[in-house]
Structure 1
Protein backbone atom coordinates (compact mmCIF):
# COMPACT_ATOMS: atom_id res chain seq x y z
CA UNK A 1 0.00 0.00 0.00
CA UNK A 2 1.28 3.45 -0.87
CA UNK A 3 1.58 5.99 1.89
CA UNK A 4 -0.08 9.31 1.25
CA UNK A 5 3.09 11.15 0.20
CA UNK A 6 3.68 8.71 -2.67
CA UNK A 7 0.05 9.07 -3.73
CA UNK A 8 0.33 12.87 -3.67
CA UNK A 9 3.55 12.81 -5.68
CA UNK A 10 2.12 10.56 -8.41
CA UNK A 11 -0.98 12.73 -8.60
CA UNK A 12 1.06 15.93 -8.91
CA UNK A 13 3.37 14.46 -11.56
CA UNK A 14 0.40 13.29 -13.63
CA UNK A 15 -1.01 16.83 -13.62
CA UNK A 16 1.95 18.20 -15.57
CA UNK A 17 4.66 20.69 -14.75
CA UNK A 18 2.75 23.94 -15.29
CA UNK A 19 -0.04 23.17 -12.83
CA UNK A 20 1.98 20.88 -10.60
CA UNK A 21 2.09 22.01 -6.94
CA UNK A 22 5.15 19.80 -6.58
CA UNK A 23 7.09 22.38 -8.59
CA UNK A 24 7.57 23.93 -5.17
CA UNK A 25 9.04 20.69 -3.89
CA UNK A 26 12.38 18.94 -4.07
CA UNK A 27 11.61 15.87 -6.16
CA UNK A 28 9.73 17.25 -9.11
CA UNK A 29 10.46 15.01 -12.09
CA UNK A 30 9.47 11.37 -12.28
CA UNK A 31 12.02 10.65 -15.01
CA UNK A 32 14.94 12.44 -13.40
CA UNK A 33 18.32 10.85 -14.12
CA UNK A 34 19.84 8.71 -11.39
CA UNK A 35 23.22 10.23 -12.15
CA UNK A 36 24.29 12.48 -9.32
CA UNK A 37 25.58 15.77 -10.66
CA UNK A 38 25.23 19.42 -9.80
CA UNK A 39 22.16 21.13 -11.25
CA UNK A 40 21.34 24.78 -11.70
CA UNK A 41 19.24 26.39 -8.98
CA UNK A 42 17.09 29.46 -8.91
CA UNK A 43 16.68 31.44 -5.72
CA UNK A 44 13.55 32.99 -4.32
CA UNK A 45 14.62 36.36 -5.68
CA UNK A 46 11.11 37.79 -6.13
CA UNK A 47 10.31 37.34 -2.46
CA UNK A 48 13.77 38.14 -1.17
CA UNK A 49 14.12 40.59 1.69
CA UNK A 50 16.85 42.78 3.14
CA UNK A 51 19.53 40.54 4.58
CA UNK A 52 22.71 41.09 6.56
CA UNK A 53 25.65 42.18 4.43
CA UNK A 54 28.12 39.29 4.47
CA UNK A 55 31.30 38.71 2.48
CA UNK A 56 31.21 36.14 -0.31
CA UNK A 57 33.54 33.27 -1.14
CA UNK A 58 33.68 30.93 -4.10
CA UNK A 59 32.57 27.34 -3.65
CA UNK A 60 35.92 25.91 -4.75
CA UNK A 61 37.98 28.16 -2.47
CA UNK A 62 35.72 27.38 0.51
CA UNK A 63 36.16 23.63 0.10
CA UNK A 64 39.91 23.98 -0.43
CA UNK A 65 40.28 26.10 2.70
CA UNK A 66 38.22 23.76 4.89
CA UNK A 67 40.33 20.78 3.77
CA UNK A 68 43.65 22.61 4.22
CA UNK A 69 46.14 20.76 6.43
CA UNK A 70 49.01 23.25 6.51
CA UNK A 71 47.88 25.84 9.04
CA UNK A 72 48.71 26.98 12.57
CA UNK A 73 45.94 25.76 14.92
CA UNK A 74 46.99 28.21 17.64
CA UNK A 75 46.52 31.14 15.27
CA UNK A 76 43.37 29.84 13.54
CA UNK A 77 40.13 31.07 15.06
CA UNK A 78 36.56 30.20 14.13
CA UNK A 79 35.62 31.20 10.57
CA UNK A 80 33.53 34.28 9.88
CA UNK A 81 30.17 33.93 8.15
CA UNK A 82 29.93 34.06 4.35
CA UNK A 83 27.55 33.64 1.48
CA UNK A 84 28.80 31.76 -1.55
CA UNK A 85 29.59 33.84 -4.61
CA UNK A 86 26.48 33.58 -6.79
CA UNK A 87 28.35 35.00 -9.79
CA UNK A 88 31.20 32.49 -9.80
CA UNK A 89 31.90 30.92 -13.18
CA UNK A 90 32.34 27.49 -11.60
CA UNK A 91 28.88 27.60 -10.00
CA UNK A 92 27.73 24.60 -12.05
CA UNK A 93 30.18 22.46 -10.05
CA UNK A 94 28.37 23.24 -6.80
CA UNK A 95 25.97 20.58 -5.64
CA UNK A 96 23.13 21.00 -3.16
CA UNK A 97 22.71 19.16 0.12
CA UNK A 98 19.21 19.00 1.59
CA UNK A 99 18.68 18.96 5.33
CA UNK A 100 15.34 17.16 5.61
CA UNK A 101 13.58 16.92 8.95
CA UNK A 102 10.15 16.57 10.46
CA UNK A 103 9.38 19.90 12.19
CA UNK A 104 10.92 20.48 15.63
CA UNK A 105 13.59 17.81 15.13
CA UNK A 106 16.50 20.16 15.83
CA UNK A 107 17.22 21.55 12.36
CA UNK A 108 17.87 25.04 13.74
CA UNK A 109 20.48 23.68 16.16
CA UNK A 110 22.16 21.67 13.42
CA UNK A 111 22.13 24.61 11.00
CA UNK A 112 23.70 26.81 13.68
CA UNK A 113 26.44 24.24 14.26
CA UNK A 114 27.16 23.88 10.53
CA UNK A 115 27.28 27.64 10.02
CA UNK A 116 29.64 27.96 12.97
CA UNK A 117 32.13 25.33 11.78
CA UNK A 118 31.91 26.02 8.03
CA UNK A 119 31.61 29.80 8.15
CA UNK A 120 28.84 29.48 5.58
CA UNK A 121 25.18 30.43 5.86
CA UNK A 122 22.57 27.75 5.27
CA UNK A 123 19.32 28.16 3.37
CA UNK A 124 15.76 26.87 3.42
CA UNK A 125 12.82 26.50 1.05
CA UNK A 126 10.46 28.40 3.35
CA UNK A 127 8.34 31.45 2.52
CA UNK A 128 10.41 34.28 3.97
CA UNK A 129 7.35 36.56 4.06
CA UNK A 130 5.81 34.44 6.84
CA UNK A 131 6.44 35.69 10.37
CA UNK A 132 7.98 32.58 11.94
CA UNK A 133 10.33 32.15 8.98
CA UNK A 134 11.39 35.78 8.88
CA UNK A 135 11.95 35.63 12.65
CA UNK A 136 14.62 32.97 12.08
CA UNK A 137 16.46 35.25 9.66
CA UNK A 138 16.29 38.15 12.11
CA UNK A 139 17.56 35.87 14.89
CA UNK A 140 20.70 35.03 12.91
CA UNK A 141 19.99 32.57 10.08
CA UNK A 142 20.90 35.02 7.31
CA UNK A 143 20.16 32.52 4.51
CA UNK A 144 16.61 31.70 5.61
CA UNK A 145 14.37 31.43 2.54
CA UNK A 146 17.27 31.03 0.08
CA UNK A 147 17.85 28.01 -2.17
CA UNK A 148 20.13 29.65 -4.74
CA UNK A 149 23.90 29.32 -5.00
CA UNK A 150 24.54 31.63 -2.08
CA UNK A 151 23.98 28.58 0.14
CA UNK A 152 25.11 24.95 0.04
CA UNK A 153 22.93 23.22 2.66
CA UNK A 154 19.18 23.86 2.35
CA UNK A 155 16.66 22.96 5.04
CA UNK A 156 13.30 21.49 4.09
CA UNK A 157 10.37 19.79 5.80
CA UNK A 158 9.21 18.25 2.52
CA UNK A 159 7.06 16.18 2.13
CA UNK A 160 5.47 17.11 5.46
CA UNK A 161 4.80 20.44 3.71
CA UNK A 162 5.67 22.04 0.39
CA UNK A 163 8.43 24.62 0.29
CA UNK A 164 7.99 27.99 -1.35
CA UNK A 165 10.67 27.59 -4.02
CA UNK A 166 11.56 24.75 -6.36
CA UNK A 167 15.17 23.59 -6.63
CA UNK A 168 17.31 20.61 -7.53
CA UNK A 169 19.38 18.69 -5.01
CA UNK A 170 21.92 15.89 -5.11
CA UNK A 171 22.32 14.62 -1.54
CA UNK A 172 20.27 14.47 1.66
CA UNK A 173 20.92 14.87 5.37
CA UNK A 174 18.03 13.21 7.20
CA UNK A 175 17.76 14.63 10.72
CA UNK A 176 15.79 12.40 13.09
CA UNK A 177 14.48 13.05 16.60
CA UNK A 178 12.46 10.97 19.05
CA UNK A 179 8.80 11.55 18.05
CA UNK A 180 7.75 11.90 21.70
CA UNK A 181 9.86 15.05 21.88
CA UNK A 182 9.41 16.62 18.44
CA UNK A 183 5.62 16.11 18.38
CA UNK A 184 5.35 17.75 21.81
CA UNK A 185 7.51 20.64 20.62
CA UNK A 186 5.38 21.03 17.48
CA UNK A 187 2.21 21.13 19.60
CA UNK A 188 3.75 23.94 21.66
CA UNK A 189 4.65 25.85 18.50
CA UNK A 190 1.15 25.45 17.04
CA UNK A 191 -0.48 26.56 20.31
CA UNK A 192 1.79 29.56 20.95
CA UNK A 193 2.63 30.65 17.39
CA UNK A 194 6.29 30.97 18.37
CA UNK A 195 9.58 29.09 18.22
CA UNK A 196 10.40 29.30 21.91
CA UNK A 197 7.26 29.67 24.04
CA UNK A 198 5.37 26.75 25.59
CA UNK A 199 1.96 26.07 27.00
CA UNK A 200 1.83 25.05 30.65
CA UNK A 201 2.27 21.36 31.41
CA UNK A 202 -1.17 21.34 33.04
CA UNK A 203 -2.76 22.32 29.71
CA UNK A 204 -2.07 18.83 28.39
CA UNK A 205 -4.42 17.51 31.09
CA UNK A 206 -6.95 20.33 30.70
CA UNK A 207 -7.41 19.66 26.98
CA UNK A 208 -6.75 15.92 26.58
CA UNK A 209 -8.95 15.53 23.49
CA UNK A 210 -7.04 18.15 21.50
CA UNK A 211 -3.70 16.68 22.56
CA UNK A 212 -4.76 13.09 21.84
CA UNK A 213 -6.10 13.99 18.39
CA UNK A 214 -2.91 15.89 17.58
CA UNK A 215 -0.70 12.95 18.59
CA UNK A 216 -2.74 10.44 16.57
CA UNK A 217 -2.45 12.64 13.49
CA UNK A 218 1.22 13.55 13.84
CA UNK A 219 2.65 10.14 14.67
CA UNK A 220 1.32 8.88 11.35
CA UNK A 221 2.80 11.88 9.53
CA UNK A 222 6.12 11.41 11.36
CA UNK A 223 6.25 7.79 10.19
CA UNK A 224 5.26 8.63 6.60
CA UNK A 225 7.84 11.42 6.46
CA UNK A 226 10.72 9.14 7.41
CA UNK A 227 9.45 6.26 5.26
CA UNK A 228 9.45 8.64 2.29
CA UNK A 229 13.11 9.58 2.65
CA UNK A 230 14.34 6.16 3.75
CA UNK A 231 12.76 4.52 0.71
CA UNK A 232 14.17 7.06 -1.76
CA UNK A 233 16.75 5.65 -4.17
CA UNK A 234 17.44 8.98 -5.89
CA UNK A 235 19.69 10.49 -3.25
CA UNK A 236 22.67 9.45 -1.15
CA UNK A 237 21.41 9.92 2.43
CA UNK A 238 23.26 10.58 5.67
CA UNK A 239 21.21 10.05 8.83
CA UNK A 240 21.99 12.04 11.96
CA UNK A 241 20.07 11.90 15.24
CA UNK A 242 19.27 15.00 17.26
CA UNK A 243 20.11 13.04 20.41
CA UNK A 244 23.64 12.38 19.11
CA UNK A 245 24.17 16.05 18.26
CA UNK A 246 23.29 16.93 21.86
CA UNK A 247 25.21 14.12 23.57
CA UNK A 248 28.17 13.63 21.20
CA UNK A 249 28.44 16.73 18.99
CA UNK A 250 32.05 16.21 17.92
CA UNK A 251 31.48 12.69 16.60
CA UNK A 252 28.14 13.58 15.00
CA UNK A 253 29.50 16.70 13.28
CA UNK A 254 32.68 14.98 12.10
CA UNK A 255 30.72 12.21 10.41
CA UNK A 256 28.29 14.71 8.90
CA UNK A 257 31.01 17.01 7.54
CA UNK A 258 32.69 14.07 5.80
CA UNK A 259 29.39 13.54 3.99
CA UNK A 260 28.89 17.21 3.11
CA UNK A 261 32.47 17.65 1.89
CA UNK A 262 32.40 14.22 0.20
CA UNK A 263 35.60 13.16 1.96
CA UNK A 264 36.62 9.86 3.53
CA UNK A 265 38.86 11.52 6.11
CA UNK A 266 39.10 15.03 7.58
CA UNK A 267 41.87 14.30 10.09
CA UNK A 268 44.31 17.17 10.51
CA UNK A 269 42.24 19.59 8.43
CA UNK A 270 40.89 23.04 9.21
CA UNK A 271 37.34 21.73 9.36
CA UNK A 272 38.33 19.22 12.04
CA UNK A 273 39.92 22.10 13.97
CA UNK A 274 36.77 24.21 13.57
CA UNK A 275 34.62 21.35 14.89
CA UNK A 276 36.90 21.02 17.91
CA UNK A 277 36.59 24.76 18.63
CA UNK A 278 32.81 24.71 18.24
CA UNK A 279 32.14 21.84 20.64
CA UNK A 280 34.39 23.34 23.32
CA UNK A 281 31.79 26.08 23.71
CA UNK A 282 28.13 25.90 24.64
CA UNK A 283 25.94 24.67 21.80
CA UNK A 284 24.95 27.52 19.47
CA UNK A 285 21.49 29.03 19.90
CA UNK A 286 19.55 30.96 17.27
CA UNK A 287 16.82 31.31 19.88
CA UNK A 288 16.50 30.02 23.43
CA UNK A 289 14.92 26.57 23.07
CA UNK A 290 11.90 25.57 25.11
CA UNK A 291 13.82 22.76 26.78
CA UNK A 292 15.65 20.75 24.14
CA UNK A 293 15.72 17.79 26.48
CA UNK A 294 16.23 14.25 25.26
CA UNK A 295 13.33 11.95 26.17
CA UNK A 296 11.89 14.71 28.34
CA UNK A 297 8.21 14.43 27.43
CA UNK A 298 7.28 10.84 28.24
CA UNK A 299 4.97 11.97 31.05
CA UNK A 300 2.69 13.73 28.54
CA UNK A 301 1.90 10.42 26.84
CA UNK A 302 0.93 8.48 29.96
Structure 2
Protein backbone atom coordinates (compact mmCIF):
# COMPACT_ATOMS: atom_id res chain seq x y z
CA UNK A 1 0.00 0.00 0.00
CA UNK A 2 1.40 3.44 -0.85
CA UNK A 3 2.56 5.44 2.14
CA UNK A 4 1.52 9.08 2.59
CA UNK A 5 4.33 11.52 1.87
CA UNK A 6 6.39 12.57 4.86
CA UNK A 7 5.75 16.16 5.92
CA UNK A 8 9.08 17.95 5.64
CA UNK A 9 7.90 21.43 6.59
CA UNK A 10 4.47 22.73 7.61
CA UNK A 11 4.31 26.50 7.25
CA UNK A 12 0.68 27.39 6.53
CA UNK A 13 -0.52 27.94 10.13
CA UNK A 14 2.41 29.97 11.54
CA UNK A 15 3.01 27.52 14.38
CA UNK A 16 6.12 27.44 16.56
CA UNK A 17 8.00 24.34 15.36
CA UNK A 18 9.48 23.33 18.74
CA UNK A 19 7.87 20.52 20.72
CA UNK A 20 7.90 20.38 24.51
CA UNK A 21 11.10 18.87 25.94
CA UNK A 22 10.56 15.24 27.03
CA UNK A 23 10.90 16.03 30.74
CA UNK A 24 8.37 18.88 30.49
CA UNK A 25 5.98 16.69 28.49
CA UNK A 26 6.25 13.93 31.11
CA UNK A 27 5.61 16.32 34.00
CA UNK A 28 2.65 17.82 32.15
CA UNK A 29 1.22 14.36 31.50
CA UNK A 30 1.41 13.59 35.22
CA UNK A 31 -0.39 16.85 35.98
CA UNK A 32 -3.14 16.14 33.45
CA UNK A 33 -3.66 12.64 34.84
CA UNK A 34 -5.29 14.26 37.87
CA UNK A 35 -7.91 16.18 35.85
CA UNK A 36 -11.43 14.83 36.60
CA UNK A 37 -12.66 14.13 33.08
CA UNK A 38 -16.06 13.01 34.35
CA UNK A 39 -16.83 16.60 35.34
CA UNK A 40 -17.59 19.62 33.20
CA UNK A 41 -14.80 22.20 32.94
CA UNK A 42 -14.68 25.09 35.40
CA UNK A 43 -17.00 27.71 33.93
CA UNK A 44 -14.79 30.54 35.22
CA UNK A 45 -11.59 29.02 33.74
CA UNK A 46 -10.55 27.62 37.13
CA UNK A 47 -6.79 27.57 37.74
CA UNK A 48 -6.11 29.18 34.39
CA UNK A 49 -7.55 32.58 35.31
CA UNK A 50 -5.09 33.33 38.15
CA UNK A 51 -2.20 31.85 36.15
CA UNK A 52 -2.81 34.18 33.20
CA UNK A 53 -3.39 37.12 35.55
CA UNK A 54 0.01 36.47 37.19
CA UNK A 55 1.69 36.07 33.83
CA UNK A 56 0.32 39.37 32.48
CA UNK A 57 0.10 41.32 35.73
CA UNK A 58 -3.61 42.08 35.27
CA UNK A 59 -6.78 41.85 37.35
CA UNK A 60 -8.21 38.32 37.02
CA UNK A 61 -11.68 39.84 36.58
CA UNK A 62 -10.51 41.63 33.41
CA UNK A 63 -9.98 38.34 31.55
CA UNK A 64 -12.27 36.53 29.13
CA UNK A 65 -11.22 33.13 27.79
CA UNK A 66 -11.94 31.54 24.44
CA UNK A 67 -11.31 28.39 22.47
CA UNK A 68 -8.52 30.15 20.63
CA UNK A 69 -8.65 33.74 19.40
CA UNK A 70 -11.23 32.71 16.80
CA UNK A 71 -13.90 32.20 19.43
CA UNK A 72 -13.07 35.52 21.09
CA UNK A 73 -13.39 37.31 17.75
CA UNK A 74 -16.77 35.65 17.18
CA UNK A 75 -17.89 36.62 20.69
CA UNK A 76 -16.93 40.24 20.09
CA UNK A 77 -18.86 40.31 16.81
CA UNK A 78 -21.89 38.72 18.47
CA UNK A 79 -21.81 40.78 21.65
CA UNK A 80 -21.58 44.26 20.17
CA UNK A 81 -24.65 44.14 17.95
CA UNK A 82 -26.38 47.52 18.25
CA UNK A 83 -25.62 49.87 15.33
CA UNK A 84 -23.92 53.12 16.24
CA UNK A 85 -25.94 56.30 15.67
CA UNK A 86 -25.95 57.05 11.95
CA UNK A 87 -25.22 53.45 10.89
CA UNK A 88 -27.83 51.19 9.29
CA UNK A 89 -26.46 48.12 11.03
CA UNK A 90 -23.52 47.04 13.14
CA UNK A 91 -20.18 46.97 11.37
CA UNK A 92 -16.76 45.42 11.89
CA UNK A 93 -13.74 47.29 10.51
CA UNK A 94 -10.30 45.83 9.85
CA UNK A 95 -7.39 46.58 7.51
CA UNK A 96 -6.94 44.25 4.56
CA UNK A 97 -5.15 41.96 3.95
CA UNK A 98 -5.20 40.76 7.53
CA UNK A 99 -6.45 37.82 9.58
CA UNK A 100 -9.27 36.30 7.54
CA UNK A 101 -11.36 35.33 10.56
CA UNK A 102 -12.26 38.98 11.17
CA UNK A 103 -14.18 38.82 7.89
CA UNK A 104 -15.68 35.41 8.59
CA UNK A 105 -16.87 36.27 12.10
CA UNK A 106 -18.39 39.55 10.93
CA UNK A 107 -20.32 37.84 8.14
CA UNK A 108 -21.53 34.98 10.35
CA UNK A 109 -22.80 37.50 12.90
CA UNK A 110 -24.60 39.45 10.18
CA UNK A 111 -22.40 42.52 10.52
CA UNK A 112 -21.09 44.77 7.78
CA UNK A 113 -17.51 43.70 7.01
CA UNK A 114 -15.67 46.99 6.44
CA UNK A 115 -12.24 46.46 4.89
CA UNK A 116 -9.70 49.28 4.66
CA UNK A 117 -6.97 48.45 2.11
CA UNK A 118 -3.37 48.63 3.24
CA UNK A 119 -0.87 50.65 1.26
CA UNK A 120 1.12 48.86 -1.45
CA UNK A 121 3.91 48.21 1.05
CA UNK A 122 1.39 46.72 3.53
CA UNK A 123 1.65 49.63 5.95
CA UNK A 124 -1.45 51.06 7.59
CA UNK A 125 -3.07 54.16 6.12
CA UNK A 126 -4.12 55.66 9.46
CA UNK A 127 -5.80 58.67 7.85
CA UNK A 128 -7.95 56.43 5.67
CA UNK A 129 -8.86 54.26 8.66
CA UNK A 130 -9.93 57.36 10.59
CA UNK A 131 -12.00 58.55 7.63
CA UNK A 132 -13.78 55.21 7.25
CA UNK A 133 -14.46 54.98 10.99
CA UNK A 134 -16.04 58.44 10.86
CA UNK A 135 -18.15 57.72 7.76
CA UNK A 136 -19.09 54.03 8.12
CA UNK A 137 -19.41 54.15 11.93
CA UNK A 138 -18.43 50.55 12.84
CA UNK A 139 -19.00 49.03 16.28
CA UNK A 140 -15.74 47.11 16.27
CA UNK A 141 -12.28 47.64 14.80
CA UNK A 142 -9.67 44.86 14.74
CA UNK A 143 -5.95 45.52 14.34
CA UNK A 144 -3.44 42.66 14.23
CA UNK A 145 -0.28 43.99 15.89
CA UNK A 146 1.88 42.52 14.27
CA UNK A 147 -0.21 41.66 11.22
CA UNK A 148 -0.94 38.27 9.69
CA UNK A 149 -0.25 37.49 6.81
CA UNK A 150 2.12 40.39 6.08
CA UNK A 151 4.21 40.39 9.26
CA UNK A 152 4.20 44.19 9.28
CA UNK A 153 3.85 46.14 12.50
CA UNK A 154 1.49 49.06 12.09
CA UNK A 155 1.67 52.19 14.20
CA UNK A 156 0.58 51.23 17.70
CA UNK A 157 0.23 54.91 18.53
CA UNK A 158 -2.17 55.38 15.60
CA UNK A 159 -4.37 52.54 16.83
CA UNK A 160 -4.39 53.99 20.33
CA UNK A 161 -5.23 57.45 18.99
CA UNK A 162 -8.15 55.96 17.07
CA UNK A 163 -9.48 54.32 20.23
CA UNK A 164 -9.25 57.57 22.17
CA UNK A 165 -10.87 59.59 19.37
CA UNK A 166 -13.83 57.20 19.10
CA UNK A 167 -14.75 56.02 22.62
CA UNK A 168 -17.94 54.35 21.34
CA UNK A 169 -15.96 52.00 19.05
CA UNK A 170 -14.49 48.83 20.55
CA UNK A 171 -10.90 48.78 19.29
CA UNK A 172 -9.18 45.40 19.50
CA UNK A 173 -5.39 45.03 19.55
CA UNK A 174 -4.85 41.44 18.39
CA UNK A 175 -1.42 40.61 19.80
CA UNK A 176 -1.21 36.97 18.72
CA UNK A 177 2.34 37.51 17.41
CA UNK A 178 3.61 39.80 20.16
CA UNK A 179 6.28 37.27 21.19
CA UNK A 180 8.06 38.02 17.91
CA UNK A 181 7.96 41.81 17.91
CA UNK A 182 5.91 44.90 18.54
CA UNK A 183 4.60 46.75 21.57
CA UNK A 184 1.63 45.81 23.67
CA UNK A 185 -1.23 48.19 24.35
CA UNK A 186 -1.90 46.49 27.68
CA UNK A 187 -0.73 49.50 29.78
CA UNK A 188 -3.28 51.70 27.99
CA UNK A 189 -6.33 49.73 29.13
CA UNK A 190 -6.67 51.67 32.39
CA UNK A 191 -7.27 54.95 30.56
CA UNK A 192 -8.95 53.62 27.40
CA UNK A 193 -12.03 51.57 28.40
CA UNK A 194 -13.04 50.83 24.79
CA UNK A 195 -9.67 49.18 24.10
CA UNK A 196 -9.36 45.38 24.14
CA UNK A 197 -6.08 43.44 24.11
CA UNK A 198 -6.28 39.91 22.73
CA UNK A 199 -3.66 37.17 23.16
CA UNK A 200 -3.28 33.48 22.34
CA UNK A 201 -0.93 30.65 23.24
CA UNK A 202 -1.19 29.21 19.73
CA UNK A 203 1.82 31.06 18.30
CA UNK A 204 4.23 30.26 21.14
CA UNK A 205 4.18 26.48 20.85
CA UNK A 206 0.78 25.53 22.28
CA UNK A 207 -1.51 25.66 19.24
CA UNK A 208 -3.04 22.29 20.10
CA UNK A 209 -4.48 23.65 23.34
CA UNK A 210 -6.67 26.24 21.54
CA UNK A 211 -6.33 28.72 24.38
CA UNK A 212 -7.04 32.39 23.79
CA UNK A 213 -7.80 35.20 26.20
CA UNK A 214 -8.47 38.90 26.15
CA UNK A 215 -8.12 41.69 28.66
CA UNK A 216 -10.78 44.38 28.75
CA UNK A 217 -12.78 46.85 30.82
CA UNK A 218 -15.66 45.66 33.05
CA UNK A 219 -18.28 46.76 30.49
CA UNK A 220 -16.66 44.75 27.69
CA UNK A 221 -16.17 41.73 29.95
CA UNK A 222 -19.81 41.85 31.05
CA UNK A 223 -21.00 42.01 27.44
CA UNK A 224 -18.84 39.10 26.33
CA UNK A 225 -19.83 36.89 29.25
CA UNK A 226 -23.43 37.14 28.03
CA UNK A 227 -22.52 35.51 24.70
CA UNK A 228 -19.71 33.19 25.81
CA UNK A 229 -20.73 29.55 25.33
CA UNK A 230 -20.89 27.58 28.59
CA UNK A 231 -17.86 25.42 29.39
CA UNK A 232 -16.14 26.73 26.26
CA UNK A 233 -12.61 25.93 27.43
CA UNK A 234 -12.09 22.25 28.20
CA UNK A 235 -10.58 20.98 31.45
CA UNK A 236 -7.37 19.66 29.90
CA UNK A 237 -6.66 22.96 28.17
CA UNK A 238 -7.32 24.92 31.37
CA UNK A 239 -4.97 22.79 33.45
CA UNK A 240 -2.28 22.41 30.79
CA UNK A 241 -2.15 26.11 29.93
CA UNK A 242 -2.00 27.11 33.60
CA UNK A 243 0.76 24.60 34.36
CA UNK A 244 2.82 25.58 31.32
CA UNK A 245 2.57 29.30 32.08
CA UNK A 246 3.82 28.60 35.60
CA UNK A 247 6.58 26.15 34.62
CA UNK A 248 7.53 26.67 30.97
CA UNK A 249 7.01 30.36 30.10
CA UNK A 250 10.73 31.17 30.04
CA UNK A 251 11.42 28.33 27.61
CA UNK A 252 8.61 29.50 25.32
CA UNK A 253 10.16 32.97 25.28
CA UNK A 254 13.55 31.45 24.44
CA UNK A 255 12.02 29.51 21.54
CA UNK A 256 10.38 32.69 20.22
CA UNK A 257 13.73 34.49 20.38
CA UNK A 258 15.28 31.69 18.33
CA UNK A 259 12.60 32.18 15.66
CA UNK A 260 13.34 35.93 15.59
CA UNK A 261 17.02 35.20 14.97
CA UNK A 262 16.16 32.72 12.24
CA UNK A 263 13.75 35.25 10.71
CA UNK A 264 16.60 37.73 10.30
CA UNK A 265 18.86 35.09 8.73
CA UNK A 266 16.17 33.87 6.34
CA UNK A 267 15.12 37.40 5.37
CA UNK A 268 18.71 38.33 4.53
CA UNK A 269 19.16 35.19 2.45
CA UNK A 270 15.94 35.70 0.52
CA UNK A 271 16.65 39.38 -0.07
CA UNK A 272 19.96 38.42 -1.70
CA UNK A 273 18.13 36.45 -4.40
CA UNK A 274 17.36 38.24 -7.69
CA UNK A 275 13.76 39.35 -8.09
CA UNK A 276 12.83 38.78 -4.44
CA UNK A 277 11.51 41.57 -2.23
CA UNK A 278 11.23 40.81 1.48
CA UNK A 279 8.89 43.00 3.49
CA UNK A 280 9.83 43.94 7.07
CA UNK A 281 8.36 41.49 9.57
CA UNK A 282 7.77 41.54 13.31
CA UNK A 283 5.94 38.18 13.29
CA UNK A 284 7.09 34.58 12.84
CA UNK A 285 6.52 34.80 9.09
CA UNK A 286 7.84 36.63 6.06
CA UNK A 287 5.90 38.22 3.22
CA UNK A 288 7.84 38.23 -0.03
CA UNK A 289 7.19 39.41 -3.58
CA UNK A 290 8.61 37.46 -6.50
CA UNK A 291 9.34 39.37 -9.68
CA UNK A 292 8.48 42.98 -10.40
CA UNK A 293 4.91 44.32 -10.42
CA UNK A 294 3.64 44.65 -13.97
CA UNK A 295 6.09 42.28 -15.65
CA UNK A 296 3.72 39.30 -15.54
CA UNK A 297 5.89 37.33 -13.14
CA UNK A 298 5.02 38.96 -9.81
CA UNK A 299 3.48 36.86 -7.05
With normalisation by structure 1, the TM-score equals 0.29
Task: Answer 1 or 2: which has greater strand percent.
Answer: 2
With normalisation by structure 2, the TM-score equals 0.30
